[in-house]
Structure 1
Amino acid sequence: MYVPPAFRDDNIENIRSTISSARLANLITATAEGPLATPLPLFLDPTEGERGVLYGHLAKANPQWRAAPIGEALAIFMGPEAYVTPSWYATKQETEKVVPTWNYIAVHAYGPVEFFEDNERLLDVVTRLTNIHEGSRVTPWSVSDAPADFIGAQLRGIVGIRIPVTKFEGKRKMSQNRPLADRIGVVTGLAASQEPRDQEVSIMVPTLA
C-alpha cells in the first residue's frame, strides 16, 4: 500500500481498533495460478507473538487454501471512508486549484498463512469469532446452543486460517495535508451529510492548527 508520510499511522492501538471494527477483511494470497482473494471475518489475538496472530476460516470448497501461497499472505481491513468534494474547500474560492479525493482508514497485515483442519482448533476459532460478533447482542447466540453433532458436521466443511503477523501497514487519510480552512470545510460538509459513514468520518478530520 502506498502510504505518504502525512497519512502513515503506526499507532498499534489505532491498527488494532481498525481490525476489530472491520466487519469483513479480504484475505489475499499469491499462487502459481495467480492471486486469490476471499472476503471473510478475521480476528486478531494480540497476545500471541510479537505483533499478534490473525484467525478465521473459509469454506473447504474454496480453492484458495489448496493453492500453495507464494510468499506471505495479505489481509486488508478497511475503516471509515468518505468522498470529499472540492466544493468544501476554502481554497476553491481562492484559486480553483482543487480536485476531489477520498478520506479513509486502512490496515494491511502481512504474514505466513497456515490452513488447518484440526477439529479442536476449528471449534476454538469459530467459538471465539462468534463470541466477538454476538457479544453486543441482548441475547447472544453461542456455538454451544446448537447440537454438538450438527456443529461437528459444520466444522468438517471449513478450513481454519492462522496468520502470525510479521508487518502492519496503517494508513489514516483524513485531509491532514489540507490547510486548516479546507479541513474545517470538509468537516462541515461531511457532518451535514445524511450518510452515516460521512458523519463518522467528519469527526476524524483534524481541525487543530
Structure 2
Amino acid sequence: MTDVTTALDPERVLGQAIAVRIRQLRRDQNLTLDRLAKLSGLSKGTVVTLEQGKANPSIGILCRLAAAFSLSVADLLNDHPSTVRLPIERTETRTLWTSAKGSFAQLHSSISGRTMFELWSWAIMPGDVFSADAHSPDTRELISVTQGSPRTHTRRHLICLPTSRWQFLSVVDSEIRGPLRRQRRCPGPFRKTPPLANDRPFATGDPPLYVPPHFAVPDHNTLLDLIGRHPLGILVTHSKGTLDANHIPFELDRSKGDKGVLNCHVARKNRVWEEVANGDEVLVIFRAADAYISPNWYPSKHEFHKQVPTWNYLVVHAHGRITVRDDERYVRRNVAKLTHMHEASQPAPWKMGDAPKDFIDTMVKAIVALEIEITGLVGKSKLSQNKEVRDIQNAGEMLNARGVNGMGEAMLAAAAAKSQ
C-alpha cells in the first residue's frame, strides 16, 4: 500500500503545481473562472477541478490553457520562464514576389524563436494580388510600404498601411485585400469571402465605407459633434464566426485617446461583454437624420424627367478597440456621466442620489461597462449634393413642410453651401 501511495505522489505534486500556476496566471491576468473557461473552450467545472489540484490535465488541456493565457505550454508549466533564447536568424534579403506592374514583396530578415519576427518591405500597385501560406499564430511582421496602400483585412478588423510607415501585424487568420490580397489561413475549415467592393487604396484610419467625394465629411470635429448630438449607437461585434449588434447610448470623451473614447454599459446578462476580448476591433454606427426623397420634389424632374427616388441620411462609422470594464467605480462614473448629460435639460434633473443607496448598488452590479478607443471615423452626409442647387433646396423645403425638420434643414444648408 505504501508503494502505491509513493508512486502516485509525483502525479499529485504535478497536479498541485499546475493548480497553483493556473491560479497565479488567472489572478495576474484578471480572468474570472467563466472567462478562462470561455477562452480555453473547457467547462467551468473542469477549470475548477484543475485549480483545486484534483486532476492532472492531458496535453490537449494544457495546450488549451496555454492558448487562453497567451503563453507557450513551456511557460504555462514554468513560473520562471527562461530568458535564454536560441533564435534562428536569417538576414539575407529575398524577393519573394514580383509582378508585371512593378509590385514586389521582399523579406529582409527573420528571427525564429518562441515568437517569429519578420521584416518586410512591400510595393503594391492597384489591382495586384499576393497570396501566401499561413504562418504560425505567434508570427509578428514588421512591414514597410514603399509604394501603394495595401489593405489588411482580418476576420476581426481591417488595418490600413500607408506609404513609408512601419507597423507590426499579428498574423493569426487574416486576408489582405485591396490593391494587395495576401491570404493567411490557419488549419481547419474556412469560408472563402468575395473581394471588397470599390477596390482602391485609402488612407490609414479610413475604413471601407463607400463614400463618394461629394458625400464625404472630412472634418473630425464635425463627426464628433454628430455623435454627441445622436449618442444612440449600434455596436457591431464579431465572435465565433457570427456578427452581433447592440443598440446602446454612448458617452463621448474627446479628451482621451488620439481620436476620442466612447463609453457605455450593458446588462450583465447581455453576453456581448463576454464574447469580446480586450483589444478586439469593433464598429459603432451612429445615425442622425434620414428621410425618403421623392423625385417629384426636384424641379428639374418636371423639365427633363430624369430623376429617381432616393433616401438621404447622415451617419458616422466609428471604428475602435474595445475594453471590458467590469469595475464598479468605472461603471458608476459612466452611469453618472450619462445621467448628467441627458438630464441637464430637465427642469429638475434626476441624479443617482435621488434613489436609495441599496437600490443603486443593486442596479450597478447588474451592468458592465465598455470602453472603445476610437481608431477611425468615417462620416457620410448624403444630402443630394450631386443634384442642382434648386433641387436640393426644394427637396429640403418639402421635408420641412412635412415636419421632417432635421433632414430638411440639413439639405437647405447643403444647398446654401453649394451655391457659394
| TM-score when normalising by structure 2 | 0.48
SS of the residue 1:66 aligns to: helix
Picking from 304, 326, 346, the partner of 1:137 is 346
> After the TM superposition, which of the residue ranges 89-98 and 157-166 deviates more from structure 2?
89-98
Shift of 1:83: 1.1
Picking from 11, 22, 34, the partner of 2:242 is 34
**One-letter amino acid of the structure 2 residue matched with residue 42 of structure 1:** F
Aligned pairs (5 A) from 1:166-205: 166-205=375-414
Picking from 196, 218, 221, the partner of 1:10 is 218
Shift of 1:200: 4.3
**One-letter amino acid of the structure 2 residue matched with residue 67 of structure 1:** E
Superimposed CA distance per residue, residues 79-130 of structure 1 (whole angstroms, 9 cap, x where no aligned partner): 1111111001122112211111112110111111111211001000000011
Superimposed CA distance per residue, residues 32-91 of structure 1 (whole angstroms, 9 cap, x where no aligned partner): 140111101001100001101000000111111111359411111111111111001122
1:161 equivalent in alignment to 2:370: yes
SS of the residue 2:300 aligns to: helix
Aligned pairs (5 A) from 1:48-63: 48-63=256-271
User: Aligned equivalents of 2:409 and 2:238: distance in 1?
Assistant: 34
Alignment CA distance shift 1:78-1:5 (3 Å): same
User: Aligned equivalents of 2:313 and 2:276: distance in 1?
Assistant: 32
Instruction: Determine if contact 1:187/1:205 at 8 Å carries over to the other structure.
Output: no
Picking from 264, 284, 308, the partner of 1:99 is 308
**One-letter amino acid of the structure 2 residue matched with residue 115 of structure 1:** V
User: Aligned equivalents of 2:326 and 2:364: distance in 1?
Assistant: 8
Instruction: Determine if contact 2:397/2:408 at 8 Å carries over to the other structure.
Output: no
Alignment CA distance shift 1:205-1:82 (3 Å): farther
User: Aligned equivalents of 2:394 and 2:313: distance in 1?
Assistant: 17
User: Aligned equivalents of 1:139 and 1:94: distance in 2?
Assistant: 55
User: Aligned equivalents of 1:29 and 1:198: distance in 2?
Assistant: 29
**One-letter amino acid of the structure 2 residue matched with residue 34 of structure 1:** T
Higher relative contact order (CA 8 A, sep 6+): 1
1:45 equivalent in alignment to 2:256: no
User: Aligned equivalents of 1:71 and 1:149: distance in 2?
Assistant: 34
Superimposed CA distance per residue, residues 15-47 of structure 1 (whole angstroms, 9 cap, x where no aligned partner): 122111115111110111401111010011000
User: Aligned equivalents of 2:318 and 2:214: distance in 1?
Assistant: 20
**One-letter amino acid of the structure 1 residue matched with residue 315 of structure 2:** A
Instruction: Determine if contact 2:291/2:404 at 8 Å carries over to the other structure.
Output: no
User: What's 2:31 paired with?
Assistant: none
Instruction: Determine if contact 2:396/2:409 at 8 Å carries over to the other structure.
Output: no
Identity, in percent, stands at 34
Any stretches of 5+ residues in structure 2 without a counterpart? 1-208
Alignment CA distance shift 1:104-1:134 (3 Å): same
User: What's 1:84 paired with?
Assistant: 293
Structure number with greater Rg is 2
User: Aligned equivalents of 1:127 and 1:200: distance in 2?
Assistant: 33
SS of the residue 2:415 aligns to: coil
